[in-house]
Every structure is written in structure tokens, then in C-alpha cells.
């Protein structure tokens, strides 16, 4: 049954969601003939598929069905399903409370990591920065041990953005200088360089801000539009303060060029041709 449930997920991922649902529905009609393990396997796939399809009523139905077959010792799995459901339906405050409850349960390291990451995302989006810092304690070490470069970089950048918002500019430039050579993706290099430029500007050290601008401008690309745009805007502010109108104009043109490549072009309205009646 696990193989069947996995096959349904594969069908869904290949775009054949109806076939996946039909495959599992035939077994759902005969639940009494299945073991608890089989029902849970089917529910797991149906929960994933219906959440992806944003069919939230169906998702909740299978979450509760799965709950009724779970032993009391595994009720944390129900909480995990509810967390996924609440996050998908943007019920952020309920998701936050459920995650906090979930973390207090007897869960594995991987489950704890999942909960901390999701809770950290909520704290960051809601601007609860002290809570974000507390919940992410230890995450950097986990990412470094796993050689998870992407999550390590994203967490470092978020922590530095918080430090910048708290006007801790010396910490930002110090940490950026320490870690920037650990990454080679332009996406992360541009984000770190942007934070350095803005922090050096706040410290009135325009020379060092300019060094970062010149060292990392080569990474500007439409492939990293958001990071490139933030970098260019920081550079525009830098050269505007220094009175270098030529550099500002060049950067503004570069930003327009990026926007032309990335942003969707506005649809032109088709002009209606007037019909003229010619009288003989």
C-alpha cells in the first residue's frame, strides 16, 4: 500500500492529479478491509495532493481521517499535518501556536528541525526578531554539519538584516567580511554586499562601501533580479550621496534594463478600427 500511495504522489507530480486521486479513491471506499498502516499511507498521499491543489476541505477531511487511525503515541503526526494545513491556508497565528505545542512534544531531530524552521519563518515575517533569533539558535551549526549551504546562507542573511534594522552596523560589516568568501552563489554574494554597502554608508565610510560596490557589481544579473535590484538601489544611494550623477545615471539605466528583461510587458489594447459606411 505504501508503494501504491507513492505511485499516486508521482502521478500528481507529473501533472496527473486526477489519476492519482482516482487510484487512491477506490481503496478509500473499502477502509474496513485495510490495516491502519494502509489507511495512514493513503491519507498521507491524499493530504499532500489536496493541499497542493488547494482543496482545503478535502485535505482537512483526510487529516482527520488519518488522526482517527493514529495511535495515541503518534498523535504528533496529526499536529504536523495540521501545521501544513494552517500554513497553506495562511492561518498564521494558529500555525504559530500549533508549532510551539508540537516542539514541546517528544519528536525526532528532523521533526524538531522542521518545526523550528517553520516557526522561524513566521517570526521573521511578523517582525518578531528576538523570537526569531532565539528559535534559530543552533540551526547554523546543523546546516554547517549537513553542508546545507543554501539554508546556512539564507539564515545568515536574515540575521544580518535584523542586525541592520537594529542599527548594529558594525556587527553587519564585521560578519559580512567574515562569511562572504564562504559562498559562491551570486544570489547570496549580492545580498551580503548590499548589506555591507548600506551599513558602511550608515557609518559614513563611503570608501569601503564603494569597494564592495565595485567588487560585486559583476554579479548583477536578471537571473537574480531581486538581489540585483537591491544591490543597484544601494549603489545609487551611495553615488547620490557622493554627488556622482554620472554613476547614478548609469545604474538607473542598468536597473531599467533589468526590469525590461524580467518584468512582464504590459498588454497593449487592440485598437478598434472604425468602420466607415461609404455611400455610392
The model's pLDDT over 85-117, given as tens digits with 9 standing for 90+, comes to 999 999 999 999 999 999 988 888 888 999 999
- What backbone phi and psi angles, to 5 degrees, belong to 196? -65, -45
- Cα–Cα distance, 100 to 96 (Å, whole number): 6
- Residue 74 is predicted with a pLDDT of 87
Residue 112 lies inside a defined structural domain of this protein: no
Quick check: is 232 in a domain? yes
pLDDT at 247 over 50: yes
Secondary structure class of 197 (helix, strand, coil): helix
Rounded to the nearest 5°, which phi and psi values hold at 126?
-90, 0
Cα angle for residues 118, 194, 262 (degrees, 5° grid): 80
Residue 199 lies inside a defined structural domain of this protein: yes
pLDDT (0 to 100) of residue 266: 59
Question: What percent of the chain shows pLDDT beyond 90?
Answer: 67
- Do 41 and 5 form a contact (C-beta atoms < 8 A)? yes
Decide if 156 is inside a domain.
Answer: yes
More confident residue, 269 or 98: 98
Q: How many domains does the chain have?
A: 1
Task: Give burial (CB, 10 Å; 0-12/13-18/19+) of 190.
Answer: buried
Which CATH number do you get for residue 199? 1.25.40.10
Q: Is 160 within the bounds of a domain?
A: yes
**Structural domain boundaries enclosing 159:** 138-263
Angstrom CA distances, 40 to 1, 6, 31, 71, 185, stand at 10, 12, 10, 11, 41
Structural domain includes residue 24: no
Encode pLDDT of 118-165 as tens digits: 999 999 999 999 999 999 988 988 998 899 999 999 999 999 999 999
Assigned domain for 31 exists? no
CB 95 within 8 A of CB 86: yes
Our CA dihedral for 116, 117, 121, 126, rounded to 10 degrees, sits at 10
pTM of the shown model = 0.80
C-alpha 182: how far from chain center: 21
Core vs surface per residue 193-224: b (16+ CB within 10 A) or e: bbbbbbbbbeeeebebbbebbeebbebbeeeb
Amino acid at each position: 500500500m505504501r508503494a501504491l500511495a507513492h505511485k499516486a504522489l508521482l502521478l500528481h507530480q507529473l501533472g496527473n492529479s486526477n489519476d492519482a486521486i482516482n487510484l487512491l479513491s477506490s481503496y478509500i471506499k473499502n477502509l474496513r478491509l485495510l490495516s491502519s498502516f494502509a489507511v495512514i499511507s493513503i491519507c498521507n498521499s491524499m493530504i499532500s495532493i489536496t493541499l497542493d491543489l488547494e482543496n482545503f476541505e478535502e485535505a482537512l477531511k483526510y487529516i482527520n481521517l488519518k488522526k482517527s487511525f493514529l495511535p495515541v503515541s503518534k498523535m504528533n503526526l496529526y499536529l504536523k499535518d495540521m501545521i501544513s494545513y494552517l500554513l497553506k491556508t495562511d492561518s498564521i497565528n494558529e500555525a504559530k501556536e500549533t508549532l510551539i505545542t508540537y516542539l514541546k512534544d517528544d519528536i525526532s531531530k528532523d521533526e524538531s528541525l522542521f518545526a523550528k524552521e517553520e516557526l522561524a519563518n513566521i517570526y521573521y515575517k511578523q517582525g518578531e526578531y528576538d523570537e526569531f533569533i532565539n528559535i534559530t539558535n543552533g540551526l547554523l551549526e546543523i546546516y554547517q554539519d549537513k553542508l546545507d549551504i543554501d539554508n546556512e546562507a539564507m539564515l545568515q542573511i536574515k540575521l544580518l538584516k535584523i542586525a541592520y534594522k537594529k542599527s548594529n552596523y558594525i556587527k553587519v560589516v564585521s560578519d559580512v567580511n567574515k562569511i562572504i568568501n564562504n559562498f559562491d552563489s551570486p544570489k547570496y554574494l549580492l545580498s551580503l554586499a548590499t548589506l555591507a554597502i548600506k551599513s558602511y554608508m550608515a557609518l559614513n565610510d563611503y570608501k569601503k562601501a564603494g569597494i564592495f560596490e565595485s567588487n560585486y557589481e559583476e554579479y548583477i544579473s536578471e537571473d537574480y533580479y531581486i538581489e540585483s535590484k537591491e544591490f543597484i538601489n544601494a549603489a545609487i544611494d551611495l553615488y547620490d550621496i557622493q554627488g556622482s550623477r554620472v554613476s547614478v545615471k548609469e545604474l538607473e539605466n542598468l536597473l531599467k534594463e533589468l526590469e525590461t528583461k524580467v518584468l512582464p510587458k504590459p498588454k497593449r489594447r487592440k485598437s478598434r478600427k472604425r468602420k466607415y459606411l461609404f455611400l455610392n
